[in-house]
Amino acid sequence: MKFEHQVVLKRWIPILEEYELIKQKRSLKFKRCKDLYSTYHISAKECLRYYRRWVESGKNPEGILPKKRGARPGSRRTPKEIERNIIQAYRRFGSNRYELVLLFKPYYLDKTPSPATMDRIKARYPLNESKKKIIKRYEKQAPGELAHIDMTMIPRDIRCFFKVKELYVAALCDDCSRITYAEILKNKKASTLTYFMARSLSWFQQIYNFEFEAVMSDNGPEFKGSLKKEHPFEIMCNELGIKHIYTQPYRPQTNGKIEAFWKIIKNEFFYPNSFDSEKDLILNLGNFLFEYNHLRKHGGLNYQTPFDKLQSVTELLS
């Protein structure tokens, strides 16, 4: 069973059993369902949905797990996993239908869709004209030329164990080497992000001995205000002489390097592990960052570690 499924079962089975006891007026912990919802930070609609699945499955724990998606048994439609890989290759390389067949034939053999099917798959995932252009990937030549900064909320399945509604992870990534610094934050206020940025810059300067010329962020209120002269993040950038660049709205690819970090930290840190407390989470995040920066090889860096990339670039520039 996948770890994500184990987390769902560990969280929801006790809730559903307690919900049933409340309905039967036999619960020793809660008098009303409202108290249960408040304690576990869930909604009545969400609880009822899981409860119905549980009862309909004969109270089989696996009955509350998400149903499998994909092509129906016996259908001729290409499985979703193959479709996603085809669309990803098409959007990255702009290949025509015959090139896509040649690209995937060694992997899927007789399951490879025909050229006509390739066209039908592409038609199911249309793009507007502006997005049909192949994304030109860029990489700064020297460390410190550009930093990517962003923050995201920690998955709910992990937050619920700490009984907090909000808990975030913020990260600052060097575009050239991909070396990344991250912290756990309790809110996403502009002042909180400004202090995080200051600590990040100090960390990069003390540990890796370089400073940043520019920083790229999205257009969120924690990074951008209606009055630049009064926004704390903008003030700090101006005082330090760091150029602040904004991503194009609704275009996360512009800040793709930090988006890739979110995917990695979710799949390789948050879900494969369990944490006893926020302190335990923070301690393990530090260990993960060391492995990420010094031990993990990145496909985007020709399978070098970020630290190896930093050393190689530094040697060329010196």
What is the torsional sign of CA 234, 236, 237, 239? positive
pLDDT in tens, 233-250: 999 999 999 999 998 877
**Close Cβ partners of 182 (under 8 Å, ≥ 6 residues apart):** 169, 170, 171, 172, 261, 265, 285, 289
Mean pLDDT of 159-167: 84
Listed in order, strand segments (DSSP E) in the chain are 147-153, 168-174, 180-185, 214-217, 243-246
Mean pLDDT for the stretch of residues 16-33: 91
For strands 168-174 and 147-153, give the pairing.
Answer: antiparallel
Say yes or no to pLDDT of 71 above 70: no
Count of beta carbons in the 10 Å neighbourhood of residue 6: 12
pLDDT at 155: 86
The residues, any chain, with a CB within 8 Å of residue 86's CB and separated by 6 or more, are 78, 100, 104, 113, 118, 121, 122
* pLDDT band, very low/low/confident/very high, at 299 (cuts 50, 70, 90): confident
Is the pLDDT score of 130 beyond 70? no
pLDDT band per the 50, 70, 90 thresholds, residue 256: confident
Q: pLDDT value at position 178?
A: 94
Q: What is the mean pLDDT of residues 260-280?
A: 88
Q: Which tokens hold the place of 200?
A: 């990040």
User: Residue 41: which pLDDT band, with cuts at 50, 70 and 90?
Assistant: confident
Quick check: helix, strand or coil at residue 298? strand
Between residues 37 and 5, the one the model is more confident about: 37
Pick from 164, 169, 155: nearest CA to 200:
169
- Cα-based torsion angle of the residue sequence 229, 231, 233, 234 in order, rounded to the nearest 10 degrees: -20
What was the pLDDT predicted at 217? 93
pLDDT in tens, 181-215: 999 999 999 999 999 999 999 999 999 999 999 99
Confidence category of residue 90, pLDDT binned at 50, 70, 90: confident
- Placement of tokens 């259908």 in the chain: 75
- R_g of the chain computed on alpha carbons: 24
* Residues 161 and 275: beta-carbon distance below 8 Å: yes
Give the Cα separation of 28 and 22 in Å (integer). Answer: 9
Distances (CA, A) of 183 to 34, 192, 202, 286, 294: 34, 11, 14, 8, 18
When pLDDT is averaged across residues 264-280 and rounded to a whole number, the result is 87
Structure tokens at 234: 């903008």
Q: Is 209 within 8 Å of 142 (Cβ atoms)?
A: no
pLDDT of residue 21: 93
Averaged pLDDT, 135-142: 70
* pLDDT given at position 66: 76
